[in-house]
Amino acid sequence: MSLTGWIAYLREQGAAGADVVRHLEADTERLERVAKRFERTGRPARREPVGIGSVAERVVEYFRPRLPTLASPVLLNLTASGPGPTRWATPCCSSGRSKPS
């Protein structure tokens, strides 16, 4: 069974694995982006405007559940919200999402 098949199976099992399903879906999305990057290898870079604040929100949301919480807790806070200043970046950095899920 593929990873997406397992995700669909776990989703059908109910709320007990909802947190796991959400993380697996995010990991699957990241794997798809990596695969697309490899597919574009050797092609000219394509750039588009990206809000730095939106990227920062995604980075914080990605790392927050992965940071230590018991022995040496790490607290990660983002004090500004919104898209913030815009810079040119490759689509792999923005992934086309305007807000974190």
- DSSP letter string over 37-84? HHHTTTSPP--EEEEHHHHHHHHHHHHGGGS--SSS---------S--
Kind and range of the H or E element at 87?
A: strand 86-89
Give the integer Cα–Cα distance in Å for 53 and 15. 32
Mean pLDDT, rounded, for 4-18 = 80
Kind and range of the H or E element at 89?
A: strand 86-89
- Give the pLDDT of residue 92: 55
Whether residue 101 is predicted with pLDDT greater than 70 in this model: the reply is no
pLDDT band at residue 15 using 50, 70 and 90 as cut-offs: low
